Structure formats: C-alpha cells, structure tokens
Amino acid sequence: MRPTHKLSMRNRILAAPAMAALALGPEPLHGQDATPLATPGATPVTGEDLPTEQVAMLTGPEPSINNTWEQWEVYGTDLGSSFMFGDEMYIVFGDTFAAGNSDWRSNVLAVSTDEDPTDGITFDRMITDREGHAKEILPSKKVDFDEMTVIPTYGIAVGDRMFLHYMSVSHWGPPGRWDLGHSGWAYSDDAGETWTKDPDAQWPGDSNFGQVALEEHEGRIYIWGIPGGRYGGVRLARSMPEALLDIGSYEYWDGSGWSNDPADAAEVIPPNVGELSVRWISFYNRWIMMYLNDPMGLIELRVAEEITGPWSEPYIAARATEYPALYAPFQFPKWNDTEDIYFNMSLFGPYQVFLLRTRIPDLMP
C-alpha cells in the first residue's frame, strides 16, 4: 500500500525526533497514487491519549533490527498482520520493494519464534523463492483498472491449513479510497510456501468484507469487515472453522442476534475505519479493537466485554502529529497477559513497519 499525495521522499522524512534518523523507503510505486498520507495540520482532540511508545523498527535496512534489506531484499514494506501456526508466528506484509523502487512484490511473509517483544521482534526467516529473496506469495497482475496489487489483510490457521484473506485492488483512487475487483480467501497446506486462491471463496468488490480482522473464539472464526479504502464502518460475521471457504454459510451479527442474510449485518463501529485488528487481551479482560481513523490522523482503540460489543468510545493510541503518515495498527496473537498491548504500525515516510506498545490506565486491575 502506498501514499496518495505525490510528495518528494525528502519532504516526507519524519518530523518526530525519535524517528529523524530512520532510513528512507522507496518512492511511490511507478508514481501511482494510493493510500492517504495521514498527517493533518492539526489533529482535533477527540478522546483520551494512551501512553504509547515505539519499541523498534522491524523492516528495511539498518537501523531495522532485522535488516530485511540485506537478508531478503526487502528495502521497504508495510502492514504486518500476524497469526500463529503451531509455535511460529507468521507476519504478513503488503507491497514490498527493493532499493530504488525496484523488484515490486505485492506481498511477502516472515516467520518468527521470538517470545520477548520488549526489545523488538526478530524474524527467523522469510518465505523465499531463491536464497536471500523474499517471495511474492500471492501474485497480482499489476495492471491499473484490472488488478493493481493483491494485499493480504489478515490470516488465520485451522489445523494444518493456513488461510489468508486478501483484497484485489483494481485502482487507487482519491486519498483513502481505492476500488476492489474482489476480496477473498487463499490457503496453504505446506506451511506458507505455496498458496491457492479459491475462486469460489470471494466477495464482490463493493462488499463490506473487502478488508478484515480475524479471531477464533469458542469454536467459531469471527470476521470483522470493512470495505476497500478507509471510510467505511465495521460489520461482523462468523463461520465454523471447517466452513471458512464457504462464504454462503456465514452468519452475520444484526445487532441482537445472528442472521444468515448478509444484508442484516449491523454496523458495529461507524465510519471512518481503516485497517483494523481485534484481539482478546486477558490482562484487561476485554476485546481490543485498533484501527486507523484516516481523516483525523489517529490510531484509535476501543474495548468491549463481549465479542459482539457494544464497543467503547475510542481511546487515542497514536496521532499523526507525532507519527506522520501512520496507518495499519495490527495487534499480535500472543503477549496478551500483561498491561502492554503490542502492535505493528506502518509509517509511509520511511515506508516501514514499526513495533509499538501502549496500555490502558483506566482499565488497570
């Protein structure tokens, strides 16, 4: 995913002192416009600010703790949602480049067994197609108004099979808006080495499940969905794990119960919601949702006691005034038993993924 405003890279160097020395990432892909540069001149105060701090830069050349440029020819990338497969955590990235904006891969996949996030998350390996080169795991046509890119939005494992939800972006539109040809499921039966897109497990491009967050709970997989872009609301579906590829079998939360009709799906979070993640944090005994509020330049956090909500008013986990061009807050499937909530966050300025942590003082036991 890339920016919407065609600014020179030097003018996008991060203003926050803690970020000033970071390596720069690639220029916008082939000059195309894409994702918004969420850096408003003045961010309104709309909620309580949480104590958030940066832990480490995870991707790119040094000072990245993984130096993914030298190890796997990943100079710039974004996103970084994650899921567990056995004892390994798989971290999924979006549009990826080598130096000089070359070697465009729509997505790449890292694997980590790091158990201590306090100093960052180290990668054991990346899925490769040759030695030292991260592989594009889901190919794309890379043709505007057909299929510009294929971006995984979330993953989950069921038994020995991995699933990735992806969106097929047909066109980058105005800031924060893009068109999808479709979204759907891909799966892997060989620990992420090869993937198959299921042509029967797809949503149309205008579906409210263009991008999703996933969580397994009490024998079902819950699917929070938003449309393509960053200006929709969140709706909730669920599936039996063994029926994940059978979209017609899904149930939808209508605000008071479950319906088989997707038209009954109620809006559980109002617009404007960008990339999102949802996790159960046992320390707080709450469900935690994080997402980008793009027009406000905020990473917002809401809590709920039940998986269906209702959700609290938003806390503010990060502001674009401190982290210019921030987006895509993705929590992790582990480390949920302490006060610290760890999450990946992308910054367009260096086009890299950073690990941050926050906490919710109001809810401390």
Residues 208, 182: Cα–Cα separation, whole Å: 11
- For 8, counting Cβ atoms within 10 Å of its Cβ (0-12 exposed, 13-18 middle, 19+ buried), the class is exposed
Measured in whole angstroms, the distance separating CA 244 from the mean position of its chain's CA atoms is 20
pLDDT for res 20: 30
CB atoms within 10 A of CB 20: 9
Helix (H, G, I), strand (E, B) or coil at 295: coil
Select from 227, 226, 223, 201 the least CA-distant residue to 213. 223
- For 218, counting Cβ atoms within 10 Å of its Cβ (0-12 exposed, 13-18 middle, 19+ buried), the class is exposed
Strands 211-217 and 196-204: unpaired
Q: What are 139-193's pLDDT values in tens digits?
A: 999 999 999 999 999 999 999 999 999 999 999 999 899 999 999 999 999 999 9
Any idea which architecture 10-363 has in CATH? 5 Propeller (2.115)
DSSP at 50: P
pLDDT for res 365: 86
Q: Which residues of the chain have pLDDT under 70?
A: 1-46
Residue 249: HSE in the Cβ half-sphere, 13 Å Cα cutoff: 12
pTM strictly above 0.75:
yes
**Helices and strands: H and E segment counts in the chain:** 1, 26
Residues 305, 287: Cα–Cα separation, whole Å: 6
pLDDT for res 9: 26
Residues 112, 126: Cα–Cα separation, whole Å: 9
